Amino acid sequence: MSSSLKKPATDVARHFDRLVPIEHHHVNFQDGFWKSWSETVRKTTVPTQHMRLGEEGFLEVLDFDKPPAPLARPIQPSGLSMQHFFDSDFGKWIEAASYTLKNTANAELEAQIDAIVEKLEQGQMEDGYLNSWFIRREPDKRWTNLRDLHEMYSMGHLLEGAVAYYEATGKRRFLDVMIRAVDHIGATFGSEPGQLRGYDAHEEIELALVKLYRITKDPRHLKLATYFINERGQIPSYYDEEARLRGEDPADYVYKTYAYSQAHRPVREQSQVVGHAVRAMYLFSAMTDLAHENDDPTLKQACDRLFDNLTSRQLYVTGGLGPSASNEGFTREYDLPNETAYAETCAAVALGFWSHRMAQIDLDAKFTDALETVLFNGALSGISRDGEHYFYENVLESHGQHRRWKWHYCPCCPTNIARMITSLGQYFYSGKAEELAVHLYGANTAELDLGNTYLRLKQETLYPWDGDVRIQLGLTWQAEFSIRLRIPGWCRSWTISINGVPLDADGIVEKGYATIRRSWADGDEIRLSFDMPVERLYAHPAVGEDADRVALKRGPVVYCIEETDIGMEPQRLRLSASGLIEARFDQELLGGAVVLEGEAMEAQVEDWKAGLYRNSPAAFRPRRFKAIPYHLWANRDAGAMQVWLAER
| Interacting residues with a second copy (CB under 8 A) | 74, 77, 308, 311-313, 315, 317, 331-332, 335, 337, 339-340, 397, 399, 401, 535-544, 547-548, 550-551, 569, 571-572, 574, 577, 603-605, 608, 610-618, 642, 646-648
Indicate the residue among 587 and 616 with the shorter CB distance to a second copy. 616
**β-strand 593-603 against 573-575: which pairing, if any?**
antiparallel
Is residue 108 annotated as part of the catalytic site, yes or no? no
Indicate the residue among 265 and 536 with the shorter CB distance to a second copy. 536
Q: Least Å distance between CB 60 and a second copy?
A: 20
Backbone angles phi, psi at 86, to 5 degrees: -55, -35
Find, among 428, 475, 426, 434, the residue nearest to 451 by Cα. Answer: 434
Indicate the residue among 468 and 535 with the shorter CB distance to a second copy. 535
Q: Are 625 and 640 in contact (CB under 8 A)?
A: no
Q: Are 436 and 35 in contact (CB under 8 A)?
A: no
Indicate the residue among 409 and 585 with the shorter CB distance to a second copy. 409
Q: Least Å distance between CB 430 and a second copy?
A: 25
Indicate the residue among 62 and 573 with the shorter CB distance to a second copy. 573
Query: Residue 193: which residues within 8 A CB-CB, separation 6 or more?
Result: none
CA–CA separation, 153 vs 203, rounded Å?
6
Q: Least Å distance between CB 271 and a second copy?
A: 15
Q: Least Å distance between CB 137 and a second copy?
A: 20
Q: Quote the DSSP letter at residue 572.
A: G
* H-run or E-run covering 360: helix 345-361
Q: Least Å distance between CB 647 and a second copy?
A: 8
Question: Left if phi > 0, otherwise alpha if psi is -120 to 50, otherwise beta: which for 434?
Answer: left
Query: Residue 612: which residues within 8 A CB-CB, separation 6 or more?
Result: none
For residue 409, how many other CB atoms are within 10 A of its CB?
Answer: 10
Catalytic option among 95, 328, 562, 647: 328
Catalytic option among 23, 303, 397, 412: 412
**β-strand 435-438 against 479-486: which pairing, if any?**
parallel
CA–CA separation, 568 vs 640, rounded Å?
8
Indicate the residue among 523 and 544 with the shorter CB distance to a second copy. 544
Q: Are 446 and 433 in contact (CB under 8 A)?
A: no
Q: Are 474 and 353 in contact (CB under 8 A)?
A: no
Indicate the residue among 77 and 193 with the shorter CB distance to a second copy. 77
CA–CA separation, 575 vs 565, rounded Å?
16
Backbone angles phi, psi at 567, to 5 degrees: 70, 20
Is residue 412 annotated as part of the catalytic site, yes or no? yes
Indicate the residue among 187 and 537 with the shorter CB distance to a second copy. 537
Q: Least Å distance between CB 607 and a second copy?
A: 10
* H-run or E-run covering 626: strand 620-629
The SS3 of residue 22 is: coil
* H-run or E-run covering 205: helix 205-216
Q: Are 165 and 94 in contact (CB under 8 A)?
A: yes
| Torsion sign, CA atoms 460, 464, 465, 466 | positive
Indicate the residue among 55 and 548 with the shorter CB distance to a second copy. 548
Q: Are 225 and 213 in contact (CB under 8 A)?
A: yes
Q: How far from each other are the two terminal CA atoms of the chain, in whole angstroms?
A: 68
Q: Are 376 and 35 in contact (CB under 8 A)?
A: no
CA–CA separation, 499 vs 501, rounded Å?
6
Q: Least Å distance between CB 62 and a second copy?
A: 26
Q: Least Å distance between CB 365 and a second copy?
A: 14
Indicate the residue among 92 and 574 with the shorter CB distance to a second copy. 574
With b for 16 or more beta-carbon neighbours within 10 A and e for fewer, the 514-526 pattern comes to bebeeebeeebeb
Query: Residue 363: which residues within 8 A CB-CB, separation 6 or more?
Result: 19, 430, 437, 484, 511, 513
Residues catalogued as catalytic: 328, 412
